[in-house]
Chain A
Amino acid sequence: MECKRIEGFLIDYIHDDLGPAENELVRRHLLECQDCTKKSKEYEQISKIFEEQAQTQPDPKVLDNLSKIARDELERNNPPFWKRWFYFPILVPALSSIIAISAWIYYENQNLIYSPDETFYSRDVMAKKIPLNEDPNLPEIQEETVSNLESRSGRVLSDRPNPASLPDTGKKSRIQEEAINTDETAPVKEMIARRDVKEVDKSSEYKDDLFDKFETKPLNRPVPKQDTAAEDESIEVGMLAEGTLEEKADQEFREHKGKTQRAGSYSSSESTYKYKLNLALKQKKEGNCEASIKTNEELLKASPPPPDSVKEISYLSLAECYEKEGEWENAIINYRNLQKAAPDQTDFAKEKIKYIRQQTRLLKK
């Protein structure tokens, strides 16, 4: 009975897997029992003989083949990174969405530059692209208004650059420029007009006609070539429309200034020139020739230098101010500068210089 019980422990005993108590129990039994001792030794021999079994190495070809299979399997299930990345299903819609959103934001920003508040920008831009005679939206009366205004203001604009080809200056700036031109040239024409007094009576009629049209129609169109025959008529208009046109242009220019600023830095330097020029003209009109001279000189020294159209008016204004002040030499210098800035005014300038010299001679006598 005891041997049968001990036999159950014998295998664990030879493997030394028994607890201390059981191990001691088996050890004592083996000291007493010959049969169990013999059996234990036989078990040990069996165990030992299997332990000593030489290891059987697999054929190297088999191992190489298995290694290759493993690599092929890994490569098949783990494609290169770029391939996994490219075929990753979620990336396709994600990337498409990102591209679409980016494109939308980009074009949205592009549109913001020409926002509805700045429609005059768009119109000016369009004016560059659509020739005057092809613009279906241009009313006939508008052209007529401009033509009347300019022809009657005494300006010969045929040699001036077409506004449609100028940089975008805005509708109101153009109005102001025209108004200034009208205002500025009026005194000069006045002297010429004295030679032809019989046409003066017509001027009031032209004036009324001009303002009616000016108030209803914007002057944002290129000016057609001026017929020189209209020069005489323009003298009177220039004389009478002088102050009123200037004020109107000035007011509209200021209203427009806010919009221009919102629109960014677009033509900011030109706006500054116009503003200073207008200020100088206003000062001159108020009789403050000294301030006007100072403003004009600041304007002419500005960097970058103002365009010839601005210089022309500025020199003329300066010359007249000096003339009023009795500084004949400075007046002559500025009339000469006027010739350089506006070659089409050469005759006028020469005439003025000649007139000043006659006056100085008379005064000397």
Chain B
Amino acid sequence: MVDTAKNIDLTDEEAMVEFQNGNAGAFDLLLKRHGSGLLRFIMKMTLNSKSNAEDLFQEVFVKVIEHRKKYDGNKKFTTWLYSLARNHCIDYLRTKKNKQNFSLDVSFSSGGTNGPVTLETLESKERNQEEILIDKEIKFQINLGVGQLKEEFREVFLLREVEFLSLKEIAEITQVPLSTIKSRLRYAYNNLRDVFIKAGFFDLKKKPERGVEKSYGM
């Protein structure tokens, strides 16, 4: 990576304009700022492993490079970036038709545990092991819940809860009215809640509160 110190004070929009004018360092800055969030979004949106998601991630940023002249400096960069990413993910999902064959979180599946971890199993372990398993269970539940959402609800939920975009920005990215975004978000929350209730997620959360001072941060 090239030194981005010279461009560190630039906003996303200014950095993109700089990149349009031939400043490669500005692109590096944008990559550094949004690489992690975008990769996470792609992973959850396409329900792919990290390595597969990185291919898509790279393709999205190649689009950013190739279509840099189309970027309007008056618009927010994240809106433009996530529009490209969202469209690319939808194209990918439609092309592969792998909605049903998604692999859930790779870290979970490669962790030596096959299938969901039951509450009974958790309760029989020691404390540290119990925490690790709870973390894995939570991850699994999250991915399960998100994976069960339809694309239109999932993208809205991920953009809102993972990437912290405003409802207005999400409306721009998805090109649907703001009211529709709100209802989709509510629908996504309800669906996830149902999934988590069925999986006993909220009961699981209560246990550490009672016995162990443990946050669910991962």
Contacts and interface: CB of A to CB of B under 8 A. Distances in A.
A43 B142 contact: no
A47 to B, nearest CB: 6
Nearest to B66: A73
B57 interface: yes
Contacts, number: 92
Interface string A53-64: 111111110111
A78 B217 contact: no
Interface string B2-41: 1000000000000000010010100110011001110110
Contact of A57 (B36, B186, B192, B215): B36
Given A59-B54, A67-B2, A49 B35 contact: no
B212 interface: no
Interface string B50-90: 10001001100110011000000000000000000000000
B36 A74 contact: no
Interface string B84-101: 000000000000000000
Contacts of A54: 217-218
B136 to A, nearest CB: 13
Contacts of A63: 1, 31-32, 35
B35 A57 contact: yes
Contacts of B142: 49-50, 53
Given A59-B54, A63-B31, A52 B218 contact: yes
A50 B193 contact: no
A82 B85 CA distance: 37
A22 to B, nearest CB: 13
B31 A67 contact: yes
Contacts of A58: 35-36, 39, 54, 57
Contacts of B185: 11
A275 to B, nearest CB: 73
B108 interface: no
Nearest to A7: B186
A65 B62 CA distance: 10
A12 B142 CA distance: 21
A46 B193 contact: yes
Contacts of B54: 58-59, 62
A69 B59 CA distance: 11
Nearest to B197: A42
B102 interface: no
Contacts of B43: 56
A11 B186 contact: yes
Q: Most chain-B Cβ atoms within 10 A of its Cβ — which of A53, A64, A69, A73?
A: A53
A66 B63 CA distance: 11
A8 B205 CA distance: 25
Interface string A62-101: 1111110111011000100000000000000000000000
B28 to A, nearest CB: 5
A53 B108 CA distance: 14
B42 to A, nearest CB: 10
Contacts of B19: 70
A8 B1 contact: no
Contacts of A56: 36, 39-40, 43, 50
A67 B1 contact: yes
Interface string A223-262: 0000000000000000000000000000000000000000
A57 B32 CA distance: 10
Interface string B130-161: 00000000100010000000000000000001
A27 to B, nearest CB: 19
A8 B190 CA distance: 11
Contacts of A74: 22, 24
B36 A53 contact: no
Contacts of B24: 67, 70-71, 74
Interface of A: 7-8, 11-12, 17, 39, 42-43, 45-60, 62-67, 69-71, 73-74, 78
Report, nearest first, the 7 A-B pairs whose CB atoms are least far apart. A52-B217, A50-B161, A55-B36, A70-B27, A71-B24, A58-B35, A66-B61
15 contacts: A11-B185, A42-B193, A42-B197, A45-B202, A49-B216, A52-B218, A53-B162, A55-B36, A58-B54, A60-B1, A67-B1, A70-B19, A70-B65, A74-B22, A74-B24
